[in-house]
Amino acid sequence: MLLAAVAIFILGPLGGIAAAYMNFSLGFFVGGQVLAGILGSAVTYGYGPEGKHGANYMQTMAASVASLSAMAVLIQAMVWMKMPMPPVGPLVLFFCCIGMFGVGLGMLYTPILVDRLKLEYPSGHAVANILRALTDKRLLKNSIKQLGGGVGLGALFAFMVEKVKVVGATGISGATIGAGMVVGSRIAGAGLTMGLIGWAITPYLVSIGWLQEGEPFRKIGFLIALAMILGAALVDLTLIGVEASRRLRTVAAERAAQPEEPAWKQVNMGRLLAWVAFWGVSLVLVATKLLGQPLGFILFAVVLSAVFVLINGISCGISDSNPISSAFVISVLLMSGLGLKDPTVGLMAAAILLASCSTGVDMQQDRSTGWRLGTNRVIQFRFQVVGIVMGAVLCVVLANVFMKAYPVLTIDTFAHPEAKVDQWQSAMTFKFVGALRDLGNLPPYKVTALGIGLGIGLVTEVVRKVLHKSARYKAFTHGSKGGFVTGWVMDTVLLPSPYASSFGGFVELAVAAWFAAGGALSSAINTLTEKPEKVLAAEGGSAEGEAKEQMADAAGPKEKVEEDALPEDMSSTSLVGGGLIAGEALFALAMGIYGLVALVK
| Cα gap 508→103, rounded to integer Å | 30
Closest CA to 149 of 576, 521, 574, 572: 576
> Is residue 261, in this structure, part of any structural domain at all?
no
| Cα gap 442→17, rounded to integer Å | 36
- Tell me how crowded residue 474 is: count the other CB atoms within 10 A of its CB: 16
- Confidence check: pLDDT of 538 > 60: no
Q: What is the DSSP letter of 338?
A: T
User: How do residues 558-595 score in pLDDT, each as one tens digit?
Assistant: 344 444 555 666 677 777 877 787 777 677 767 766 66
> Is residue 263, in this structure, part of any structural domain at all?
no
80-99: average pLDDT: 93
> Is residue 149, in this structure, part of any structural domain at all?
yes
> Is residue 469, in this structure, part of any structural domain at all?
yes
> Is residue 483, in this structure, part of any structural domain at all?
yes
The total of structural domains in the chain comes to 1
Closest CA to 499 of 352, 319, 276: 319
> Is residue 424, in this structure, part of any structural domain at all?
yes
> Is residue 275, in this structure, part of any structural domain at all?
no
Closest CA to 100 of 281, 264, 346: 281
Is 554 within 8 Å of 569 (Cβ atoms)? yes
Does residue 445 or residue 567 have the better pLDDT? 445
Give the pTM: 0.74
- Confidence check: pLDDT of 322 > 90: no
Q: How confident is the model at residue 202 (pLDDT cuts 50, 70, 90)?
A: very high
Backbone CA torsion sign across 442, 443, 445, 446? negative
Cβ neighbours of residue 531 closer than 8 Å, sequence gap 6 or more: none
Is 19 within 8 Å of 7 (Cβ atoms)? no
| Cα gap 132→528, rounded to integer Å | 27
User: How do residues 224-265 score in pLDDT, each as one tens digit?
Assistant: 887 888 888 788 778 777 766 666 566 555 555 555 677 777
93-106: average pLDDT: 95
User: How far is C-alpha 147 from the geometric centre of its chain's CA atoms?
Assistant: 22
Give ∠ CA 489-490-493 in degrees, rounded to 5.
65
> Is residue 394, in this structure, part of any structural domain at all?
yes
- Tell me how crowded residue 90 is: count the other CB atoms within 10 A of its CB: 15
CA–CA distances in Å: residue 95 to residues 137, 330, 397, 411, 520 = 41, 20, 12, 24, 41
pLDDT at 559: 42
CA–CA distances in Å: residue 595 to residues 34, 125, 588 = 19, 29, 10
Look at residue 592 and give its three-state secondary structure. helix
CA–CA distances in Å: residue 492 to residues 301, 460, 486, 543 = 35, 13, 10, 11
68-87: average pLDDT: 90
What is the C-alpha end-to-end distance of the chain, expressed in Å?
A: 34
202-221: average pLDDT: 89
Q: Which of 113-117, 135-139, 438-442 has the highest mean pLDDT?
A: 113-117
Residue 80 domain boundaries: 1-252+280-553+572-599
Residues of the chain with pLDDT > 90, as a percent, come to 23
Is 3 within 8 Å of 43 (Cβ atoms)? yes
- Confidence check: pLDDT of 347 > 60: yes
- DSSP notation for 270-283: HHHHHHHHHHHHHH
